[in-house]
Structures are given as structure tokens and as C-alpha cells.
Amino acid sequence: MYRHGDLPDKPALWLSNHISWVDILVLGASARVQFLSKQEVRRWPLLGWLAASAGTLFLKRGAGAAAELRVQLSQQLQQRQSMVIFAEGTTTDGSRVLPFHSRLLDTEQPALRIQPIALSYRRAGQADQLIPFVGDDEFTSHLWQLLGSPTIEAHLHLLPALEMHAQTSRKRLAHTTQQQIADILGVPAVKRRREPQSTEVSRITANAPEVCATDLAWH
């Protein structure tokens, strides 16, 4: 694994693009963090066990989900535990970064540090085509394909941290983070039909201990 950039020295909400279940291994190998996923993932063969072993918080969808998410995120941050969220809500083939869900930034914290993370996988200098786990891919067959393939390079980019305050627009912050990750990866950032209104997001410096993340798709 190749790590680019410094890890933060304070609890933060990590926002990452999402390509594969392998993201869990790559990010989780760097440090202890919590991950977020929909509750259905817990029942998935192998992947559910892998997610649980990585310390994933499984949340129910539907009525009350937003309130539960807000409480869980706040509790983890208050306990000085960083939380990782794949804000696209699903995996992609890595050729683009989907819009980030701003509702995932809703916490009870008056101030919140955001750590953008950009993940990519390369082989022989090119984007790897085998690593993405999308659509109807089956976990076991995908695992065996990876085990039989040549070495794949995992690249973890830690971008400068951002700080969100009470007056900060969550939509704007989600858009800013998505764009920064797309820029560092050199791929398009898919835009929503409506652009969020401009709100200043303050950039802060971050030197750090080691962290890495993973979560399964939040559909």
C-alpha cells in the first residue's frame, strides 16, 4: 500500500470514495477507525463478517434513521474515535466520483473535522480493472479472481483536512470534498442536477497518527 499525505492527530469524520470491499482492508490496515453501513450488510455471507470484524456500525434505514445516524456519529467523535463513511453511498469502477450524500455529515457536534480520502488501485501504471466490486458482482468469485491476479498497488491519498462549523453548509462541504477527491484521482466528479450554494469551508492543517478506513455501500 502507498500512502500519500499525513494522517490527522484528532478524531475526524473520514469521507472516502468507494471502489471495492478491498477498501475495508486497505483503510483498516492503517489505523483503528469505525465504519458505517446499512444493517442489511451484517447478514451478507463473508462480507458481513468482514465488516463486523472491522468495527462497522450497522444502522437501520427508514423512519428514525437520520436521528440514529446523528447520535452514532456524535458519540464516536466524543469518544475520540474517528468514523469512516463512503459518502457516495455505493461502489463505482473508479472512473468517476459520485455525488456525496450531505445527510451523512449531520452530527450534534458544534465543530467537526472532515478528512477527505481518495482511494485508487493501479497495476503496471494503469488503473486496475479487476479490483472494482460493483453491481451484481459475487463476493466469492471476485475474491478468487483477486487471489489469482498479479500484484495490485493500492494508493491512499490523505488530503488536507477541512473544518465544518454550525454555519457551514453540509451540501457545500460534501460537494467540495467530492471535487477534491476527484481532482487528486484525475477523474470526473459527477454533479447533482442542482449545485449547492457557495459557503466558505475553512481548510486546516493536519499532521497525524495513522488511519485508514472502510465501510460498505450505504444504498
Q: How far apart are CA 5 and CA 67, in angstroms?
A: 33
CA dihedral 58, 63, 66, 72 (to 10 degrees): -40
Residues 61 and 16: their CA atoms lie apart, in Å, by: 21
Q: Residue 85: its pLDDT value, please?
A: 87
Give pLDDT, residue 73. 73
Query: What is the per-residue pLDDT for 215?
Result: 37
Decide: 56 and 34 in contact? Cβ < 8 Å: yes
pLDDT for the residue 64: 59
What is the bridge-based pairing of β-strands 2-4 and 153-158?
Answer: parallel
- Cβ proximity of 204 and 24 under 8 Å: no
Three cell numbers at 96?
468517476
Q: Tell me the Cα Rg of the chain.
A: 16
Question: Distance between CA atoms of 86 and 80, rounded to whole angstroms?
Answer: 20
Give the pLDDT of the chain (219 residues) as one tens digit per residue: 889 988 878 888 899 999 998 898 888 888 777 787 777 777 777 777 877 877 787 777 655 566 777 777 777 777 777 888 898 988 999 999 999 988 877 776 667 888 999 999 998 888 999 999 987 778 888 888 888 888 899 999 999 998 888 778 888 899 999 999 999 999 999 987 664 454 444 444 333 322 233 334 343
How many whole angstroms separate alpha carbon 115 and alpha carbon 213? 11
